[in-house]
Amino acid sequence: MAITIADVAARAKVSKTTVSRVLNGKGELDETTAARVRAVIDELGYVPSARAVNLARGRTRVVAMLVPSLTWPWMGEVVQGAVDVLEAEEYGLLLFTCNRGEDSMRQFGAQVAAKSFDGLLVIEPEGTLDYIATLHARGLPMVLIDDRDQQAGRIPSIGTTNHTGAGAAARHLLAIGRHQPLMITGPSQFGCTQQRRDGFAAVYAEAGHPVSEERIMLGDFTFDVGAQAIHRAIAAGVEFDAVFCHNDISAAGAMQALLETGRRIPEDVAVVGFDDIPMAEHTQPPLTTVHQPMREMGEAAARALLAHFEGTPLPNRPTIIPATFTVRSST
């Protein structure tokens, strides 16, 4: 039978509260009594519950992470970045997804109410921003890993440079002589879509080659819609010598459609994506893309939250980690 705190208290002839104070270093204790309790702990081989000790200290040493789904192509990079930081500081991670919609959020809300974790990292599931902001306003420490450029300063956040990343893609395409780009966007409701659209278009406009509306195709970050956008453009007679996609998955779909219709990549059409997910190195040809620092964003969010636990205020403005540009054979 496992040794309990009650067994230690009985052998040392003290209360369980006194044993707890010895374990947690709280309260003023007679040193002779404390030494006797420690000796009994050693004698009996008592190992206190880590959860009980942490709760007694007012901490769980657990951080929660709320994400839309683990199936997103770059999600593993963000989670791994956060886990690397948390595990190094001996914190655990409690992971919540929203795969089951409202049922998932109810389960998450129950854990919030039970104070099962010290703080929260968030990649916002669509439609939950107001709820998350309310939890923050009520005092739950949190950091948003803002992949969509839309939290508007309500919550401490880690973001990247969507606008300048798209601008880098445009400058690269201009440098290799591509003056008629087709742009396949992300969902219109996401802030990052507008940022990427504006950043790309601004560079082309400044160079004297504005991107006409007929060459802007509304997408949704999926492979199939990336391919369909190419077929629609060709069917409509739109001339283009490059494609800029707002993510790598739709870029892969666009590349497949180009090859199916006899276009050579990059000789006839150069293709650029956004994200730099692991798949980007393995498309045919390998995809030139804007690298989102997803692992670094996860690391930075976890560090900010742990620093807050030690007394450092959470940042009151977004922390920005710049995107970079990776050139491969598709351009």
199-235: pLDDT as tens digits: 999 999 999 999 999 999 999 999 999 999 999 999 9
User: Where do you find CATH 3.40.50.2300 in the chain?
Assistant: 62-160+294-323, 162-291
Model confidence at 151: pLDDT above 70: no
Q: How far apart are CA 247 and CA 221, in angstroms?
A: 6
Class in CATH terms, 162-291: alpha beta
Q: Which two tokens stand for residue 37?
A: 């309790």
303-327: pLDDT as tens digits: 999 999 999 999 888 899 999 999 9
Whether residue 73 contacts residue 279, with contact meaning beta carbons closer than 8 Å, is answered with yes
Q: Which CATH number fits domain 5-56: 1.10.260.40, 3.30.479.30, 3.40.50.300, 3.30.70.260?
A: 1.10.260.40
Burial 223-235 (b: 16+ CB within 10 A, else e): bebbbbbbeebbe
Q: Considering only CA atoms, which of 260, 254, 236 is closest in space to residue 183?
A: 254
| pLDDT, position 190 | 87
> Structure pTM?
0.80
Model confidence at 34: pLDDT above 90: no
Confidence of residue 55 (pLDDT cuts 50, 70, 90): low
Class in CATH terms, 62-160+294-323: alpha beta
Q: How far apart are CA 309 and CA 224, in angstroms?
A: 44
Q: Considering only CA atoms, which of 277, 218, 282, 220 is closest in space to residue 255?
A: 282
67-126: pLDDT as tens digits: 988 888 899 999 999 999 999 999 999 999 988 888 888 888 888 888 889 999 999 888
Lowest mean pLDDT among 44-48, 196-200, 235-239, 256-260: 44-48
Q: Residue 63: what are its φ and ψ, rounded to 5°?
A: -115, 135
| pLDDT, position 104 | 86
Model confidence at 54: pLDDT above 60: no
Across residues 170-184, what is the average pLDDT?
Answer: 98
